[in-house]
A and B are shown apart, each in its own frame.
Chain A
Amino acid sequence: MVKKRLIPCLDVRDGRTVKGIQFEGLRDAGDPVALAARYAFEGADELVFLDITATNQRRQPLTELVRDIARVLDIPFTVGGGISTVADVEALLLSGADKVSINSAALARPAFISDLARRFGSQCVVVAVDARLVDEEWQVMTRAGTTPTGRQAVDWCRMAADLGAGELLLTSMSHDGTKAGFALELTRAVSDAVSVPVIASGGAGQPSDFTAVFEAGGADAALAASIFHFNETALPALKQYLHTAGIAVRL
């Protein structure tokens, strides 16, 4: 059977990982290529690189970084952050990215999802959805979570899947950074509403949070950043914990 995936997320700005890393023996802790190789060695099932460079000059350096990552990495990786054109996506895929993650551009023009799916195949189109709980409704936010869209999260996820998204990266902004666990009800509602895989994100704090999001949340994969970066929870120990808890993972 297909296994539940654990996906470390690396925020990249100007070619460097932003959050501090404390891996032993990693001389240059900010180097995303070295960090990616380390995560792969430790048993990461995939990686996500989120480019948070806030300039319009980042395109070329990003494709160079993607090439450098693809040269050493033997597991799949997704690249996201500010992708808005078919040309952006083509450049990243040709450089060796396996998937791209799109967010605001898909909300601004949902047909962008179907354009990409037709051109490159659904398997490489991840639609990232940032949701915030407002008045007991999960609302979709855009522009790095700053602007409400008026869309309801489950509806938008269903629409994105229908348009050709091969996977959904669902982030609860209400849980992100809290380390109080994933948004289980939201994840379950989306997972039940679509037939494509769902990556849950936001709120990971301890190993039991992952058990909960895979079981109660019905997630196919779980993404986290800080608990891996700061080595609070090492990947091998987390996988062993999940295995013991009866979750099917790749050991």
Chain B
Amino acid sequence: MEIAVVDYKGGNVQSVLFALERLGAQPILTADPEVLRRADKVLFPGEGEASSAMQALRESGLDLVLPTLTQPFLGICLGMQLLGTHSDENDTPMLGLLPFQVQRFVPDADHKVPHMGWNNLQALRGPLLAGLTEADHVYFVHSYYAPVGAYTIAQAEHPAPFSAAVQHRNFYGVQFHTEKSGGVGTRILANFLAL
């Protein structure tokens, strides 16, 4: 099985590569459209700021390639947010694969921003999260979020519910860091590789 990790110079991909290797996979880090098209699975990790990530995607032409992919695709953190239509982070148009607009958390006395740390998942459904329960925790670090919608396959609260995981067709996204979420994250990555 060929596992491709999208290389767009946009974030720390090393942890995702290591996590896949721990599962016995041999991921290829690439920005080559041909390699991405023929891979069995594509992972799209993201960190940092939305507009510079979108600019990096445009410069490499990947903004046109990624939406055409047909194999299981997993966006992680900013990689999930980029699947939406728009982000309030520097008023950035995104890839538009899923109908959500990314918004900023508003801090209050009990809810810091970034939303940083371990939070439990709720209302889980679908094969990506198979075997997990609402007692399971995953690791989040983000200041922007996708609202809950028909595409939501898991949610978390900070303090209101937001999309912790999304799916539309072959495009999956997780707001949390699967590669940093201990055994629960490993299970989710294994589920993705088994899709």
Please list the residues of chain A having a beta carbon within 8 angstroms of any beta carbon in chain B.
1-5, 40, 45, 67, 70-72, 74-76, 93-98, 118, 120-124, 166-167, 192, 195-198, 220-221, 250
Contact = CB atoms under 8 A, between A and B. Distances in A.
In the A-B complex, the 7 residue pairs with the smallest Cβ-Cβ separation, listed nearest first, are A195-B107, A121-B48, A96-B14, A250-B118, A123-B141, A250-B137, A2-B117
Interface of B: 12, 14-15, 18-19, 21-22, 47-49, 107, 109, 111-120, 137, 139-143, 157-159, 177, 179-183, 185-186
B81 to A, nearest CB: 12
Nearest to B179: A74
Nearest to A196: B112
Nearest to A93: B12
Contacts of B22: 72, 74
B117 A5 contact: yes
Contacts, number: 99
B111 to A, nearest CB: 8
Given A1-B159, A74-B22, 12 more contacts: A1-B119, A2-B117, A5-B118, A40-B182, A72-B22, A76-B180, A98-B141, A123-B47, A123-B143, A197-B116, A198-B112, A220-B112
A246 to B, nearest CB: 15
Given A2-B140, A122-B143, A123-B141, A94 B12 contact: yes
A120 B47 CA distance: 8
Contacts of B120: 1
Contact of A71 (B12, B18, B112): B18
A220 B116 contact: yes
B151 to A, nearest CB: 23
Given A1-B159, A74-B181, A195-B107, A167 B18 contact: no
A220 B119 CA distance: 13
Contact of A195 (B113, B118, B185): B113
A121 B46 CA distance: 11
Given A45-B118, A167-B116, A220-B112, A74 B19 contact: yes
Contacts of B113: 195-196
Nearest to A191: B112
A76 B107 CA distance: 23
Contacts of A197: 112, 114, 116-117
A166 B119 contact: no
Contacts of B115: 2
Contact of B116 (A1, A71, A166): A166
Contact of B180 (A74, A118, A166, A196): A74
A96 B114 contact: no
Contacts of A72: 22
Contact of B12 (A45, A96, A250): A96
A98 B77 CA distance: 13
Given A3-B137, A70-B18, A123-B47, A196 B118 contact: no
Nearest to B135: A251
A196 B115 CA distance: 9
A250 B116 CA distance: 13
B179 A45 contact: no
Contacts of B185: 74
Nearest to B21: A71
A7 to B, nearest CB: 10
A124 B77 CA distance: 13
B180 to A, nearest CB: 5
Contact of B118 (A2, A74, A94, A120): A2
Contacts of A71: 18, 21
Contact of B157 (A1, A95, A96, A124): A1
A1 B15 CA distance: 25
A197 B116 CA distance: 7
Contacts of B21: 71
Contacts of B12: 93-94, 96-98, 124
Nearest to A120: B48
13 contacts: A2-B111, A2-B118, A5-B118, A72-B22, A74-B183, A96-B14, A118-B49, A121-B47, A123-B114, A166-B114, A192-B109, A197-B112, A220-B116
B88 to A, nearest CB: 15
